[in-house]
Amino acid sequence: FFSSRRRHTRYWRDWSSDVCSSDLEFKNRREGIWNTYKNLLEGVNGIEFLEKEKDGKPMWHLFPILVNQHKRDSIVKRFLDEGVKVQTNYIPAYWHPAFNRKNYPIGLCPNSEEFYGREISLPIHYSLKDEEIEYVVKVLKKGLISTD
């Protein structure tokens, strides 16, 4: 009993140490990507950022930006035409198909609807290279200009 328990504990400790160090590397890379986007897009007209809390330490899985809601779909189309997969997230819950039968009125949560209409999430996966980030920014800037 004791020897197998010690062996299990040792393996668990080794495994958890490996996982934690790779998680930290993963988190650091995503934070680096987030910072690169932020630096490259700072001062670009037509974009707003979500700010992290002063002492926050998020595990970035998205890089959401806000654009003019009348331009969002054409910007998303530009991305897709240029081979960049972006997403729109944060659909108001009551717009989800599961709630269609409830007939919730449009305008029920105007802030949520406005946010959804303006949000685009840029790619932020771990293996994204710096030159790919620069390409995403270039496509975004072209999309913003062509919709003016």
- pLDDT over 80 at 29, yes or no: yes
Quickly tell me which residue has 């189309």 as its tokens: 77
Q: Rg for the chain (alpha carbons), in Å? A: 21
Query: What pLDDT, on a 0 to 100 scale, did the predictor assign at position 148?
Result: 54
Measured in degrees and rounded to the nearest 5, phi and psi for residue 139 equal: -65, -40
> Tokens standing for 53?
């809390």
83: left (phi over 0), alpha (psi -120 to 50) or beta: left
Task: Quote the pTM value.
Answer: 0.78
Task: Please report, in angstroms and rounded to a whole number, the separation of the first and last CA atoms in the chain.
Answer: 72
pLDDT number for residue 21: 57
Confidence (pLDDT) at 20: 54
Span 106-145, pLDDT tens digits: 899 999 999 999 999 999 988 889 999 999 999 999 999 8
- Dist CA 90 CA 93 (whole Å): 8
